Structures are given as structure tokens and as C-alpha cells.
Structure 1
């Protein structure tokens, strides 16, 4: 405390009042708020969460009225319609590539698109699924090209084999998928013929057998599936080569090699049984059997396979 002394006679001033110094430390509330502000979650809540909550609350209150919702829906629908109806989004024509005339007409019938139409109204995945129901179509690429053109690039199945079944003759591709039906084999005589239950499931093996039968292919009439496990190769003149369930191609190649060496299939043989490749069996024809029986002085056989009495 300082005292000011007035040297004039009879006077003395009062001392100056003491001014309290300001405490630099923050208050407890301010300290806690500053500590909370250092937390990322707290900052995100105030900067993002609180405004989002307020906006959602206001929007919810506004949309709680049914008339307002209807007005908003109509407005959005109107804007979307105006955008989708613009000329740059219109499809005016359709092109089909890679399809034969018959398949092209079928694809056109499977694409019920009324043109012109907005590209937003054309459901390409649904149309593709619909076109894939055609047996002759292996794949199709549907897309809207610039200029308002709906392009359909079709890949057809390649006919590879004929399958005779109880309900008729089917054309199959190499994978066994149906391509079309025909009334008779003469419609596609260039295609090999298979028959029997389950033959369509092993068309790849059948085609390999036809390839292996190249040297005698003009004599081949077809392949018959037996018990859904093995093949019989049917030739002209009533001859049959019975193939094993496993290793059929190798067994057929062996039979063809034997035929080229010994002229086997030119003889009076009705069946070459190769079901056991280690023990092939050949069934002779009637004339060959009668020749052997005659050499042994045995009665000849008739067409029914029974001995014929010469006296009768």
C-alpha cells in the first residue's frame, strides 16, 4: 500500500484502492467444453450429426402432410418424365445381326418393343432372358447404340448331330443343346445320327466316335446308345460294332485297323463285339455259318436260325 503525503499543512490523501488481478486460468465449464471439443466424435456430432438431425426433423415435419407428399411425388415424376422423354434418349430403330432369316423373325417376335420408345423404358436384361428361350440362340448381346438404335447381336447354335427319339428327330449342337426339330433325316443328311435314351448327354463322345470312324464313315448309319452307358456303331448290310463303356474310341480304332489289315467288315460278319476289348467276339452271318456247317456235314440253318432238314 502506498501513501501519498501532501506536504501542505493540514492535508493528507487517502491511499489508492487495490485492484484484483485477473486469473488467467479458464473456468471449470470452459475447460470441460474445450476438452470435449478435442474429441473427434464430439466434433463430428456437432458439425454433421446435429445439422443432419435438424434437416431430417424439418423434412419429416414437412412430409407428414399427405398433400405435400403427393405434390412432391408429382413434381419428381414430372421431372423424371421430362428427362426420359428427351430426344437423345429415344430409340427409333432396331437391328439384328448374326441371325439366319428364320431366327431373325423369331427374335423380332420375342422383342415386343414399340418404337420409338425411351431407352429407360426398355428392360434389356428381361428382353435377353426372353430371347434366350429360343433353342437356336446360344447368346445375344442387346444394347442401345448412339443414334437411338437397339442393337441385337445373335450367336446361333451350330447344328452338329441328329438325335432320333420317340417324339421325332432333334437337331443338337456339339454340347447336346437342342437347336430345332426335323421331320426326317433327309432334311439334314450331312449330319450324323444318334439314337437312344441319354444319347443327347454324351454328344461330344458320339462326335469323337464319328471322327474315329472316318475310313468307314460312308458305311456308318448311326450310333445307338445302349442302357445309357455304351454305344453300338451301326453299319450298312446289317453289321454292328458293339463298343465298350470305357475306351470306345480306342476300341473302334482297333476294329478299323483290323478291317484295313484283314478286310474284316467285308466278310459275312453281323456283329463285332468289343465290349471286352481283351476278348473280341465276332458273330458270323447265316451264309458263313452254313458254309462251316456244310463243311462239317451238319444241317444248314434256315432264316430263323434253326436247322433245315434236307428231306423236307
Structure 2
């Protein structure tokens, strides 16, 4: 073909060569794609198994961050200057908050207390007023106030407006207790209230005496209440051996009560006195210590009357028989003294 033969001699020089066309190359065969194994590696498997444990999870989520935070804080606080600045800043902040006007106590109000107790309560304040309420421990202050003998109960609270309120309940004296160390006022439970210098300071209160009488004060008050008909003649109760009572009346009469059942024995004596006037006779001692048996000790005049009726010598003040002449002389002297009086 002429168009395909560029070197043909029969063509003129003006002929154009035909373009060279390359034959397409055959594509190379592609390699098959490698499929990825979905199973985890051995290390990843072990790590996943470890993370399933609660302890390991807490350690990773809490323990390690906390350890790092503590390490950083420890490194920062290792410097003494930084520690001092931090402490000063915290103290200053706390002081500014505690001394705000809303937390300040400006005055103290006391109700139900005598002048002596009020003065003692004000002296027990840990800080002078005005002061921050954070500096006043109400529970400790209450414990200190209750140590006062005259205080039975106290209610402490801080009211709005900076007022420390104290409502005091004082013990009411119910009996006087005479002992070798002096005279003290006791309440109805036997608790000490105050000391007095003499009996006449509280002449309206009954008197008890003897060691251990304060511990048995409730029993003594019950006996005093039961002695209503002879109460004007009652001078007091004396504790004997810290186990029983003696009822002391005027004219030197004494009623010895038993250790057990003293109230019942006293009620029996009062009933006998109302029926027979036993206490109006010349009797010095009525002994009720033996259960179901009462013993009376006659006075000197009654004993001498019986001895005269029997023709026996009279007894002197010392309890010994005296000669008839001495007895008649003393009797006449007694009559002359009565006439001259």
C-alpha cells in the first residue's frame, strides 16, 4: 500500500510518512490481596484480659493519676518557702471568714442565775467579748458551767445578732448538812449547793448531821415529810454509822430508827403518840432498831418517881444512886429555885 510504505521510489518528495502506532502492551497479572487476620495479638489479648479486672481498672483510672498528682504536689511542697506561703494564705483565709460580722458574738445574756453564778459563768468564757463564735466551744463551756455546785442545768446557744444566750437552772436548797468540816446546803438529791457559816443563815431548812448523811438526803427528806405532826418539835436527823437515822426532838428526846423500814417505824411512833401521847411523857429515847419491838428509855424524873414509889434511892444526874439526905437537899434546892424564879 502506498500510504504505508514511506520509502517507495515512485512517490514524490512531498509525500508524508504514516504515523507509527504502538501495539498496546498486555497487562501484568495482579497479585491477590492479603486478608488481615482479625484475631488480636498475644500482647493485646493479655492487656485486654488485665483490663477486665476491677483492681487493674481502678489502678489505671484512679491510682496512677493520684500517684502522679501526689508526686507533683510533694515536689512542689518540698520547698520550705512555698510551704510557708501556702500555710499563711490558708490561715489568712480562715481568719477572714471566721471574723466576719455574721460570726461575731458581741454580748452575753444570762437568765435564771443568781449574781454569784452569773459572775462565775462570765468568768468561764474562753475569750473576751466581742469574739468569733468559732473561738467559743459551747459544749466545753457547758461542761465547765455544770461543774458549779449551784447549777443543775444550762442551755447555751448563739442567737442571731451576736448574742450568747445562757438559760441556767439552779439547784434549790432543801436541807442543811452539818459535818466536821462545816455546814453545807444540799438539794433534794443530796448534791452540794453552797456552804454557809452558821445554821441561822437558812433557819427555814431542816438539819441533818453525820458522815454520809448527804448520800441519804432523799431518805431524810422522806422522814421529815412523814414527821408532820411532830415537825415543830423536830431539831434534825443524825446519820449513825452511815447506815441508819436518829430523829432528834426538843427536850432531849431521840427516836432511833432501824436501818431498814425507817419510814414505817416512824409512822408507827407518830400513830402511838397521837393515840397515847407517848412523846409528851418523860421519855428520852425510843429505840425501834429491833423489828416489831420498841424500847423506851425513861427520863431521870420518871425513873426517880418509880424508885420513890418502890422505896429505892433516887438517881443522880450521873445515873448513880444518891444518899437520901442529898436527894432531899437537892429536891428542896430545886423547889426553892423554882419559887425564887
Q: TM-score range by the shorter chain?
A: over 0.9
Query: Displacement of 1:208 after TM fit?
Result: 1.1
2:179 counterpart of 1:165: yes
> Out of 207, 216, 230, which is 1:193 matched to?
207
1:276 equivalent in structure 2:
290
Within a 5 Å distance, the mapping from 1:74-113 to structure 2 comes to 74-111=88-125, 113=127
Matching residue of 1:4: none
Secondary structure of the structure 2 residue equivalent to 1:311: helix
Aligned pair 1:146/2:176, yes or no?
Answer: no
Q: Where does 1:252-267 land on structure 2 (aligned, <5 Å)?
A: 252-267=266-281
What 5-or-longer segments of structure 2 have no aligned partner?
1-22, 327-341
1:311 matched to 2:325: yes
Does the alignment pair 1:294 with 2:308?
yes
Structure 1 residue 130: Cα displacement = 3.0
Where does residue 128 of structure 2 map in the other structure?
Answer: 114
TM-score (norm 2): 0.85
Once residues 14 and 246 of structure 1 are traced to their aligned partners in structure 2, the CA distance between those partners, rounded to angstroms, is: 128
What number of residue pairs does the alignment pair up? 304
- Structure 1 residue aligned with 2:247: 233
Q: TM-score, normalised by structure 1?
A: 0.92
Q: Which moved more, 1:116-125 or 1:245-254?
A: 116-125
Mapped to 2, the partners of 1:285 and 1:185 lie a distance apart of 28
CA distance in 2, matches of 1:301, 1:170: 41
Name 1:180's counterpart in structure 2. 194
Higher mean alpha-carbon deviation, 194-203 vs 37-46, is at 37-46
Q: Bigger shift: 80-89 or 300-309?
A: 300-309
Residue 60 (structure 2) pairs with residue 46 (structure 1): yes
Greater CA radius of gyration, 1 or 2? 2
Partner Cα separation in structure 2 for residue 86 and residue 112 of structure 1: 19
SS in 1 for 2:230: helix
Ranges of 4+ aligned residues in structure 1 off by more than 6 Å: none
* Matched-pair contact (CA < 8 Å) for 1:111–1:131: no
2:43 counterpart (29, 39, 44): 29
Q: Distance in 1 between matches of 2:27 and 2:127?
A: 109
Secondary structure in 2 matching 1:214: coil
Instruction: Report Cα offsets for 1:34-57 as digits up to 9, x if no partner.
Output: 222222111111111111111101
Q: Does residue 139 of structure 2 align to residue 125 of structure 1?
A: yes
Paired residues of 2:126 and 2:136 also in contact (CA < 8 A): no
* Secondary structure in structure 1 of the residue aligned to 2:229: helix
Q: Cα deviations across residues 281-306 of structure 1 (Å, max 9, x unaligned)? A: 10001111111111111112222222
Residues of 2 paired with 1:14 and 1:73: CA distance? 80
- Paired position in structure 1 for 2:224: 210
CA RMSD of aligned residues (A): 1.8
C-alpha contact 2:212 2:239 (8 A) present in aligned 1? yes
Q: Contact between 2:156 and 2:167, CA under 8 Å: does it hold in 1?
A: yes
Deviates more, 1:274-283 or 1:116-125: 116-125
Match of 1:222 in 2: 236
Q: Which residue of 2 aligns with 1:5?
A: none
